[in-house]
Amino acid sequence: MSTPAVLRWPLPDWVIAEAGIACPACGTRARLILAMDLDDRSDEPSYMACPAGHQWAEKRLPRRVGAELLAEVLDAEPGLLGSLDELRREYGGE
């Protein structure tokens, strides 16, 4: 049984600033949420959402970046993998 390791996570502000990302609908750059999929290292645009609930596909952030970010986080905090389901309940879904 494998569950897709997809996590929706608020991006750190420095990543948002560095990538120059803003919500295309309301222009906010704060607490943008990135959908990260460990198994998707393609160059397709990542799905993002802002706190107001706007969602879009962000071309400046290919999915492999999210997969790498998530892999790095799990490397640094292996215990997090066991909490993925919990985190997904908190941050995941629509």
Q: Which residues here bind Zn ion, judged by CB under 5 A?
A: 23, 25-26, 50, 52, 54
Nearer to Zn ion, 31 or 86 (CB): 31
Q: Are 40 and 61 in contact (CB under 8 A)?
A: no
> Strands 45-49, 55-62: parallel, antiparallel or unpaired by DSSP?
antiparallel
Min CB(33)–Zn ion separation in Å: 11
Secondary structure letter of residue 79 according to DSSP: H
Backbone angles phi, psi at 34, to 5 degrees: -110, 135
Min CB(60)–Zn ion separation in Å: 16
Nearer to Zn ion, 4 or 24 (CB): 24
Min CB(25)–Zn ion separation in Å: 4
